[in-house]
Amino acid sequence: MKIIYIHGMNKQKFSSASLRQRWLSLLKHGLEQSHQQTRFAYLKRHIRIPFYGDLLSRHHLHNVLNASTLMPQDWPRFPFQSPVKSQPPPHLNQYSPEICEIPELKVEDAMTFNQKLQFISTLSRNTLLRDFVILLNHFPRLHDTLIKKFLIETYSYLANSTFMQQVHQRIGQQLHGDKPCILMAHSLGSVIAYHYLLLHPELNVQRFISMGSPMAFRVIQEHLPQPVHRPEAIKGDWINFYCSDDFLTAFPLSEPPFQFQPAIINREIRTSIYHPHDIDGYVQHPEVIEALLELL
């Protein structure tokens, strides 16, 4: 069965090949953690990743903020930010530290003072940003203005029909026909996937897996075809993974207008506290891996 993955925003630094390689490496690590590494060869053969990350550059546009952190994409270049690094003497071998996986720190774990400070600061930032975007949800016009100004890629898809059609064209090269498939989508990709499925009821999606979806926000819903309803193309179930630490998707798709029949299966998981919205924490999670493998 073919698996289609639709990526989110801020992928301008990738190519189609490099994004595929990164996503496959994340998936491989998740499979190893779930003791399902024997399934990787099959998945690698059947996964398709439509790439639209270059379209923003082609339109001469640039995202001001990183959606995963709501921090600036680029910082002013001050001399003290890039100090001259001293080079080791030629006769010494350059030391390369071993890269190892460090598990996410929890409050009950033994931590140094600096680790505790970083943990608390990060948790406070996530809570503040989450409360801020939830507040924005009550002011969709202001929310729309902020998206237009800072998250250009999202606004371009929602409001620019030419940009939207170009994204859909890329997806249509991989997602077409009536053969059964699994569709996975992260962040803005879940909005794109939902919209595309509405336009193509002939598709045969046996499972739609959305991860970190911002569709609970009114400003997103208002730009989608009305009324918001379950796409006919979803022949199986829709599983939506969200994280309470993820300030962009802190709540499930369960309130109106998402009271579909069959209902969306909302599953709360924990991603990395330091990068709660990144694809890394979602696609490697055991429950996401299980949802992907269950139909294969």
Give domain limits for the chain.
2-63+143-293
pTM of structure: 0.78
Collect contacts of 23-29 with beta carbons under 8 A, ≥24 apart. Answer: 23/47, 23/49, 23/279, 23/283, 26/279, 26/280, 26/283, 26/284, 27/283, 27/284, 29/284
- The C-alpha angle 127, 133, 135, rounded to 5 degrees, equals 100
The pLDDT of residue 75 = 41
Phi, psi of 266 (to 5 degrees): -90, 130
Looking at the DSSP bridge assignments, the partners of residue 4 are 48, 183
Local mean pLDDT, 10-residue blocks, the chain (296 residues): 94 94 96 96 97 85 57 46 44 39 50 68 64 67 62 81 95 95 96 97 98 90 92 98 82 92 96 88 96 95
What is the topology classification, in CATH, of domain 2-63+143-293? Rossmann fold (3.40.50)
How does pLDDT run across 241-278, given as a tens digit for each residue? 999 888 777 689 999 999 999 999 999 999 988 888 89
Distance CA 75, CA 70 (A): 13
Using one digit for the tens of pLDDT, what is the confidence trace for 62-82?
655 555 555 555 444 444 444
Assigned token pair, 212: 């970190």
What is the CB neighbour count within 10 angstroms for residue 204?
Answer: 13
DSSP annotation string for 86-133: PPPPTTSPPP-PPP---PPP-TTS---HHHHHHHHHHHHHHHHHHHHH
The tokens of 263 are what?
Answer: 């209902």
Radius of gyration (Cα) for the chain, nearest Å? 20
- Which pLDDT score is estimated for 111? 67
Q: pLDDT tens across 284-293, in order?
A: 999 999 999 9
End-to-end CA distance of the chain: 7
Residue the block writes with tokens 């209902």: 263
Residue 123 has a pLDDT of 62
Between CA 36 and CA 40, with CA 39 as vertex, the angle to 5 degrees is: 105
